Amino acid sequence: MTLRTKNSDRAAGRARRGTIGLGDLLRSLKGLDTRDPATAERIARSLGFTGIEANPVEETQGVSGAAPRPRVSKKPAPENLPHRSGLPPVTPPVDLPAEILETEMTPIESMGPPSAPPEWLDKGPLLGDRRLPSVPRAKLFPERSAKGVLTAAVATRRAGIAPDIARLVQGLVRGRVLARFPYRPRPSVHRGVQLLMDTSDAMTPFLEDLDDLARELVSVVGKNATELYEFQGDPNTAVRWTEGFNDVPWRTVPGRPVVLATDFGIGAQAAAHDRATPRAWSRFERQTREAGVPVIAFVPYGRARWPQALSRRIRLVHWDHRTRASHIKKLFGVGHEVGP
């Protein structure tokens, strides 16, 4: 093994340089043709000094609302339902008159002519132009831990670099001819993921969290390997939209993990029209189990409220800022075990 020192690095002319800094900019501006100010700007841009995204990730279609698409709903939507693209804006309080208005309550005996509208009604909007400062929203999976949590949640096992000595010895002892060298498994996201998002009424408080989840999953797994589906209560009816805005029903893909983002109807009223029955969940669980597809469910409510029967058959994870990748690794080890 070669011992390396700073001096030997310098002698080889390959000292570690770290991230791009002002020195790189100065070296470039001094050494290159910068007679034209626009060229100097180009140089600064290429070195990342103008804040332009160096790796613009394609916009997520679907839940993040990058592209408009028709909402196909078989049930009539209740009126005044908040729009999917976000929560309703916070309503500022109404300005009350400075003095108490005199009122005289008299029994209604005869309906006289309608009274004239008050003067203040014509003096502009009641709510004025004031906007309350928006309260920063705490993400269910904070940025610092989201990537680790999601990688651990969707990773499957794949042959790594280190030889699996135990399996190798076992094979040799039994006199088997090894067609494939056994390697110790490592987690990998190469199989992609299907994200099934519950957009039922009870999940309205978490719509922006669904957006965040979809975006984070795409950044971890990649756009082409992430399939985004939506359902209202019953996961068996999940659909996704194609480029031409046609809906495609959800089907399992062998070996591709499924991530559910749902409250399992915990937050819904018992008689809610979009609350799935236990039988529907059982059918979903059976379908994924028979297809050999690992399922993990992010639930925005704590363990105490989880459906007991389902939590024994589907691996549930509290969708919460305290959840860490290590908690998920305890559930799955180095990744989901799936077939070849």
**Under rule CB under 8 A, residue 156 binds other proteins:** no
**Under rule CB under 8 A, residue 165 binds other proteins:** no
Under DSSP, is residue 112 helix (H, G, I), strand (E, B) or coil? coil
- The mark string for 115-154 relative to other proteins (x by CB under 8 A, - otherwise) is --------------------------------x---x---
Cα 95 to Cα 50, 82, 99, 125, 209: the distances in Å are 44, 25, 12, 11, 33
Sheet holding 226-231, edge to edge: 247-249, 239-241, 226-231, 193-198, 258-261, 295-299, 315-318
Tell the smallest beta-carbon distance from residue 12 to other proteins (Å). 5
Which pair of tokens denotes residue 316? 């549930």
- The mark string for 13-32 relative to other proteins (x by CB under 8 A, - otherwise) is xxxxxxxx---x--xx--xx
DSSP one-letter code for 316: E
> Looking at 222, 237, 289, 307, which residue binds other proteins (CB under 8 A)?
222
- Bridge-based pairing of strands 183-188 and 315-318 is unpaired
**Under rule CB under 8 A, residue 61 binds other proteins:** yes
Question: Could you tell me which residues are beta bridge partners of residue 240?
Answer: 248
> Looking at 22, 52, 94, 96, which residue binds other proteins (CB under 8 A)?
52
Which pair of tokens denotes residue 301? 């409510």
**Under rule CB under 8 A, residue 12 binds other proteins:** yes
**Under rule CB under 8 A, residue 102 binds other proteins:** no
**Under rule CB under 8 A, residue 85 binds other proteins:** no
Dump the DSSP string for 54-96.
SS-PPPPPSTT-SS------SSPPPTTPPPTTSPPPPPPPPPP
**Under rule CB under 8 A, residue 255 binds other proteins:** no
**Cβ atoms < 10 Å from Cβ of 22:** 9
- Bridge-based pairing of strands 239-241 and 247-249 is antiparallel
**Under rule CB under 8 A, residue 64 binds other proteins:** no
**Cβ atoms < 10 Å from Cβ of 141:** 22
- Look at residues 214, 301, 298 and name the one whose alpha carbon lies nearest to residue 262: 298
**Under rule CB under 8 A, residue 325 binds other proteins:** no
- The mark string for 227-246 relative to other proteins (x by CB under 8 A, - otherwise) is ---------------xxxxx
Considering only 67-75, 77-85, 126-134, 281-289, which stretch makes contact with other proteins by CB under 8 A?
67-75
Q: Could you tell me how many residues of this chain bind other proteins (CB under 8 A)? A: 64
Considering only 36-44, 116-124, 132-140, 228-236, which stretch makes contact with other proteins by CB under 8 A?
36-44
**Residues found near other proteins in the complex (CB under 8 A):** 1-2, 4, 9, 12-20, 24, 27-28, 31-33, 36, 38-39, 42-43, 45-48, 52-58, 61, 67-69, 147, 151, 158, 161, 163, 168, 177-178, 180-181, 188-190, 218-224, 242-246
